[in-house]
Amino acid sequence: MQFKRIGVLTSGGDAPGMNAAIRSVVRTAIGRGVEEVYGIYSGYKGLIEEDMELLNIRSVSNIISHGGTMLYSARCPEFKTEEGMQRAVDVCKKRGIDGIIAIGGDGTFRGATDLTRRGIPCIGIPATIDNDISSTDYTIGFDTAMNTVVELVDKLRDTCESHARCNVVEVMGKYAGDIALHTGIATGAISIAVRELPYDEDQAIAKIIKARENKKRNFIVIVAEGKENFAEAYAKRIEEKTGIETRFSRLAHVQRGGNPTVRDRVTASLMGKAAVMELLDGKSNLVICERKGVITSMDINKALKIDRMFKDLMTPEEYAELEAEGSLVDMRRHCEERAAAKLNLYRISQEICK
């Protein structure tokens, strides 16, 4: 099929590096003979409302270094309804949009697969600071968010050292504690707590007391937001049980912004190019992934299932279905490798953060 016109959108939570991905999509597409590229504003909302603008090589100039997304992002519950979806398909037909590159998280990919099923080929690009899309080792925005956390926690640590204090820092990561695990190691946190790994609070507090006896003055404890209603109360318990003055800080949305790092700019550029190449090659319903350092792709439905499996959300019926179609072993291996890498990081952090 000849692709004359394609669309690109960013949807769901924003992430630094989305602009670099948009730029790469536009420039690759135009360079490969696509006549027009529509930038669709505010994700699927803009598609339904026909809020879009033609982008060209110059209009995506000077955005690679900017955080946020020049196409804006929004949640669009209407898109999940039959009428909303039909409206999106009608707009694509009216504007002659032959395919869409959707940059976002798993919700965005669910929308992309629905659109593909209705005849508009879509390719997804994973962008979320949490790195919680299990089909890919890396999601755009993760590195920038981690660097923001490290910069802020280093500052907290300086003042903890001066005053012999402890600071419990809550970082983003609802389903995945990846930001917490990496930044905990990078900032020399004495303890890291994430939802998906067991946490022995008594042991952690004993470690703080022992380190204090050994003349340690600064104590950073990193907690992922996935451990709900935990961090603030934990700070109080640490103070009570150790006698060390303990503060609580929630870094919140500051982690979502800022100029993307080299890692995010380069990965976004590679993924943007890969997405366009797959689309022009006649493929659809794929999510671009990075696996073991290589940019590759995976069927969106398989990617969504791996995600559910990794997050332990799959029903026995879904497991039986996968077994019947022969894909269970492969998907299980994928999840096991990912879990093992995470556990390894956790163990290393426990060993060297004292």
Binding region for ligand ADP (CB under 6 A):
11-13, 43-44, 75-76, 79-80, 104-108, 110-111, 114, 128
Minimal distance, residue 111 CB to ligand ADP, in Å: 3
- Rounded CA separation 105/127 (Å): 6
Minimal distance, residue 45 CB to ligand ADP, in Å: 7
Residue of 98, 106, 114, 130 marked active site? 130
Minimal distance, residue 81 CB to ligand ADP, in Å: 9
- Rounded CA separation 270/99 (Å): 19
Query: Token pair of 313, please?
Result: 């959300």
CB atoms within 10 A of CB 320: 11
Minimal distance, residue 246 CB to ligand ADP, in Å: 33
130 is catalytic: yes
| C-beta closer to ligand ADP: residue 52 or 221 | 52
Q: Please list the residues that pair with 123 across neighbouring strands.
A: 101, 286
| C-beta closer to ligand ADP: residue 118 or 333 | 118
3-state secondary structure 284-324: CCEEEEEECCEEEEEEHHHHHHHHHHHCCCCCHHHHHHHHH
| C-beta closer to ligand ADP: residue 7 or 105 | 105
Minimal distance, residue 80 CB to ligand ADP, in Å: 4
Beta strands in the chain (DSSP E): 5-10, 36-40, 52-55, 99-104, 122-126, 166-171, 191-193, 219-224, 246-250, 286-291, 294-299
| C-beta closer to ligand ADP: residue 132 or 184 | 132
Answer yes or no: are the C-beta atoms of 89 and 120 closer than 8 Å: yes
CA distances from 125 to 78, 80, 228 (A): 22, 20, 29
| C-beta closer to ligand ADP: residue 156 or 268 | 268
Answer yes or no: are the C-beta atoms of 280 and 37 closer than 8 Å: no
Q: Would the CA dihedral through 305, 307, 309, 313 be positive or negative? A: negative
Catalytic sites, residue numbers: 130
